[in-house]
């Protein structure tokens, strides 16, 4: 049998969607190659015809894996979970699996897109207030949900796709000076998750394309 080709992640060090995929790879102990796509340099490398061929939405991430190219981080994470051994990223129990998907979608569809780079660039003068508004709005909904579903992590005591979505969103909240102390469950979960190696090695501060002044 021919050796399996390593997946290739086209992403950006500070993209929360790219970070989700890096966490999933780390949790599954999957080796992969990274091709940086700088969202700012040269007017945005994601806007080139070359990258558009990989992802017509001109967004990161895009992952080449098993002879196909996938975009949309949750689809990528679920594909990885379904095709690779290692800890489950979605619970076996249907109710818990639905809770994981609910939390993941709340973050991935209800919070992150409203404060991503493309949107913020359109409202440059008010970008911090805009981002704070939508992050706070989303966290006000997320906090009571997590109070009900959380154990050690977002849903019970096993790492899931919900945790993979939460940590990058908290990072964004901190970048935009949102007071995380308002959301004690979110804060506690994030602290617990950031103790784990998979979340540390995938952090934006230690990627191949991280600028030197942002490295830790």
Give the pLDDT confidence score for residue 6 in this predicted structure. Answer: 96
Report d(CA 11, CA 24) in Å as an integer.
Answer: 14
Interhelix angle 184-193/161-175, rounded to 10 degrees, is 110
Give the pLDDT confidence score for residue 37 in this predicted structure. Answer: 98
Same domain, 34 and 18: yes
Q: Residue 130 is part of which domain span?
A: 94-199
- Distance set, CA 129 to CA 15, 119, 143, 151, 176 (Å): 20, 13, 21, 32, 8
Q: Tens digits of per-residue pLDDT, 110-134?
A: 999 999 888 888 887 789 999 999 9
Structural domain includes residue 58: yes
Structural domain includes residue 64: yes
Give the pLDDT confidence score for residue 125 in this predicted structure. Answer: 72
Same domain, 81 and 113: no
Report d(CA 169, CA 111) in Å as an integer.
Answer: 8
pTM of the model: 0.94
Give the pLDDT confidence score for residue 49 in this predicted structure. Answer: 96
What is the number of structural domains in the chain?
2
- CATH number of the domain where residue 37 is located: 3.40.30.10
Same domain, 16 and 103: no
Structural domain includes residue 206: no
Q: Tens digits of per-residue pLDDT, 136-169?
A: 999 999 999 999 999 999 999 999 999 999 999 9
Same domain, 25 and 78: yes
pLDDT, mean of each 10-residue run, the chain (216 residues): 78 97 98 97 95 96 98 98 97 98 98 90 86 97 98 98 98 97 98 98 97 87
Same domain, 102 and 191: yes
Same domain, 79 and 103: no
Same domain, 23 and 50: yes
- Ramachandran angles phi, psi of 156, nearest 5°: 70, -150
Same domain, 116 and 175: yes
Same domain, 102 and 65: no
Same domain, 83 and 130: no
């Amino acid at each position: 049998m021919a050796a399996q080709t390593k997946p290739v992640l086209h992403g950006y060090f500070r993209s929360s969607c790219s970070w989700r995929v890096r966490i999933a790879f780390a949790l599954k102990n999957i080796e992969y190659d990274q091709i940086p796509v700088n969202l700012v340099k040269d007017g945005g490398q994601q806007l080139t015809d070359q990258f558009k061929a990989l992802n017509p939405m001109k967004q990161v991430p895009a992952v080449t894996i098993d002879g196909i190219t996938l975009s949309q981080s949750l689809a990528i994470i679920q594909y990885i979970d379904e095709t690779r051994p290692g800890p489950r990223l979605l619970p076996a129990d249907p109710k818990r699996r639905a809770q994981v998907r609910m939390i993941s979608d709340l973050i991935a569809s209800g919070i992150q897109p409203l404060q991503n780079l493309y949107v913020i660039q359109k409202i440059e003068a008010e970008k911090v207030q805009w981002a704070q508004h939508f992050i706070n709005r989303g966290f006000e909904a997320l906090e009571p949900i997590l109070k009900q579903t959380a154990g050690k992590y977002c849903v019970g005591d096993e790492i899931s796709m919900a945790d993979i979505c939460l940590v990058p969103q908290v990072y964004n909240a901190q970048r935009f000076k949102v007071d995380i102390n308002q959301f004690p469950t979110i804060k506690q979960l994030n602290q617990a998750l950031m103790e784990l190696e998979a979340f540390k090695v995938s952090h934006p501060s230690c990627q191949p394309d991280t600028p030197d002044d942002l490295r830790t």
